[in-house]
Structure 1
């Protein structure tokens, strides 16, 4: 089970409550202190356990963080949120590996958000 306590969302500078482009928030449509237990398939548990062993959480207890410091050098404790453009690059790289050229040129899952409209999460 994953015990979810909230989310970190990317917001534009003019749209958030503070000066940062990321905000920690509670779970959507739930009280601020609410939690949610989500069942997880054993293969994902193995992947997450491996990830945690290989890359311990950042100083802010975030599970997926950058490990790069000034000049792109490796800093194991950097622990900054992953920049938004990183997700897009990883998504494009994954599409290139698994889709045919014709599928890559189609709108098929062009962005991760497109999966929402295809009901993939269901």
Structure 2
């Protein structure tokens, strides 16, 4: 039975193989459930410990087709402002939300939990966002507080740690404009819905889908380009890597390990082949003419 369960968690609902990281996360959750069953006496031992299933290497790499350039990103952010009626401001409230994904590389759940007290927004120059918590959607029945959005620490970090992220002047200006127009939401959060509550994932997904219809040519709406809000984070990380920012620094800013950044974005970094060829050519010239 357990072997059948492991087989099923390695696939998505549509029958295609799940990403390597997804499989590992599901297996960890399954292991935690089995360990709890042992602790309460429902099982004599954890049967998962006796199964060592070999798994092919993860193919969970970023698809270059989802990445937007600077012009496309600005077009999409402008399109977001046109979503919804002017009175409700449904889209305009979220322009800065998507901007922090694209310019600072935040995860959507991190942007949802961002507080005004965590923002250093000077009138000129670079600012800083100090991330302290995420607000993922878990469902009321699964949270200790009874709220739909759980309160968690940053991904892959201790609960008490934070992550400062420098942000460029263009994002500082967008955030200042957002706060001037809408103010902060409940609990001092930067982003909120029309009632000041937490921005739901269904809300920012629907607005993004509508904005893509406004901001993309008719023939490109069905393309994978920026198909999800999360793709803005991918575009940000890729831009930093192509700008020459060291992988370790990119990893620190976005809350990943350098190994993950290297594995997932290796195919998105431009110019590395030309740089390597030039280095080899210089080495050959130093040794002679390179002929046999």
Question: What TM-score, normalized by structure 2, do the two folds share?
Answer: 0.34
Residue in structure 2 matched with residue 31 of structure 1 by the alignment: 158
Residue number among 145, 154, 175 corresponding to 1:48 in the alignment: 175
Q: Report the 3-state secondary structure (helix = DSSP H, G, I; strand = E; otherwise coil) of the residue aligned with 1:94.
A: helix
Q: Which has the higher contact order (CA 8 A, sep 6+)?
A: 2
Residue in structure 2 matched with residue 75 of structure 1 by the alignment: none
Residue in structure 1 matched with residue 47 of structure 2 by the alignment: none
> Quick one: distance in 1 between partners of 2:225 and 2:173?
29
Contact 2:129 2:165 in 1 (8 A): yes
Instruction: Summarize deviations over 1:28-87 as a string: whole Å, max 9, x none.
Output: 11111111110101010011011112222123111111223xxxxxxxxxx211232211
Greater strand content: 1
Q: Report the 3-state secondary structure (helix = DSSP H, G, I; strand = E; otherwise coil) of the residue aligned with 1:7.
A: coil
Once superposed, what is the RMSD of the aligned Cα atoms?
2.2
Alignment partner of 1:97 is 2:214: yes
Contact 2:154 2:162 in 1 (8 A): yes
Identify which range, 12-21 or 1-10, moves more after superposition: 12-21
> Quick one: distance in 1 between partners of 2:164 and 2:192?
23
Instruction: Summarize deviations over 1:74-106 as a string: whole Å, max 9, x none.
Output: xxxxx2112322111211122112211121123
Residue number among 120, 125, 147 corresponding to 1:20 in the alignment: 147
Residue in structure 2 matched with residue 72 of structure 1 by the alignment: none
Greater helix content: 2
Distance 1:95 1:56, change over 3 A: same
Residue in structure 2 matched with residue 84 of structure 1 by the alignment: 201
> Quick one: distance in 2 between partners of 1:119 and 1:62?
24
**1:108 positional shift:** 3.1
| Structure 1 alignment gaps of length 5 or more | 69-78
Distance 1:53 1:38, change over 3 A: same
Distance 1:58 1:112, change over 3 A: closer
**1:12 positional shift:** 3.4
Count of equivalent residues: 110
**1:14 positional shift:** 5.1
Q: Larger Cα Rg: Structure 1 or Structure 2?
A: 2
| Structure 2 alignment gaps of length 5 or more | 1-127, 238-292
**1:15 positional shift:** 4.6
